[in-house]
Amino acid sequence: MNSTPEVLAVLGDLLAAAAPDDRGALWQLDRQGRELDANLVRLPPGAEVGEHQEDVLDVLLVVLEGNGRLTPGDSGEPLDLTPTTVMWLPRTSRRSLAAGPDGLAYVTVHRRRPGLAIKSAPTAAVSYEGGEAPCALDRVCPECGRMSQESAPKYCGECGERFPGRCPGP
């Protein structure tokens, strides 16, 4: 891992260069060995990220452009999102996002998720039945590739893309 500070992106330039209909994750932190994840997300005017919950990680959300609202899932009052607003989204909190008439561009930052790993089975006497593992592709965002923790997600908690609602397997 490189321990020298470096400029990874100029977010204003990325937003200015994006096509008007570009939405979702426009940029993602991708350095090997990192301990953080970060994403630049843009929602077009009126777009929504449905109610969702992050069970494992706290998320910091920083609004760059546009406006909108964040509605807490506990029936709380909607919170206005305007440029320079910084929101802390504690793990287990439910929330939804809605872009205003000018759209909404924001950065999310959180601790990096541990990678998926295959673990060996315990050595105790275990009865295994054959068959295929259940398909989980319906929980992988078609836009940014994030795996949802929810069993039947409607929208990606990271980029706002709608999930297909069924397993798109082979």
- Asked, for residue 121, whether it belongs to a domain, the answer is no
Rounded to whole angstroms, the Cα distance separating 158 from 164 reads 16
- Asked, for residue 21, whether it belongs to a domain, the answer is yes
Rounded to whole angstroms, the Cα distance separating 134 from 125 reads 23
pLDDT of 1:
61
Q: Cβ–Cβ contacts within 10 Å for residue 50, how many? A: 16
- Asked, for residue 164, whether it belongs to a domain, the answer is no
- Asked, for residue 165, whether it belongs to a domain, the answer is no
Residue 56 region, left (φ>0) first, then alpha (ψ -120 to 50), else beta? alpha
Which residue has tokens 């259940």?
A: 134
pLDDT of 159:
77
pLDDT of 131:
42
- Asked, for residue 27, whether it belongs to a domain, the answer is yes
- Asked, for residue 162, whether it belongs to a domain, the answer is no
- Asked, for residue 108, whether it belongs to a domain, the answer is yes
Structural domain that includes position 25: 11-113
pLDDT of 66:
96
Sequential pLDDT tens for the chain (170 residues): 668 898 999 999 999 999 888 888 999 988 888 888 999 999 999 999 988 888 888 999 999 999 999 999 877 899 999 999 999 999 999 999 999 999 999 999 998 876 655 555 555 454 444 444 455 666 777 777 777 777 777 777 777 777 766 554 44
> In this structure, what CATH number is given to the domain that contains residue 20?
2.60.120.10
Quickly count helices (H) and strands (E) in the chain: 1, 7
What is the total count of domains within the chain? 1
- Asked, for residue 35, whether it belongs to a domain, the answer is yes
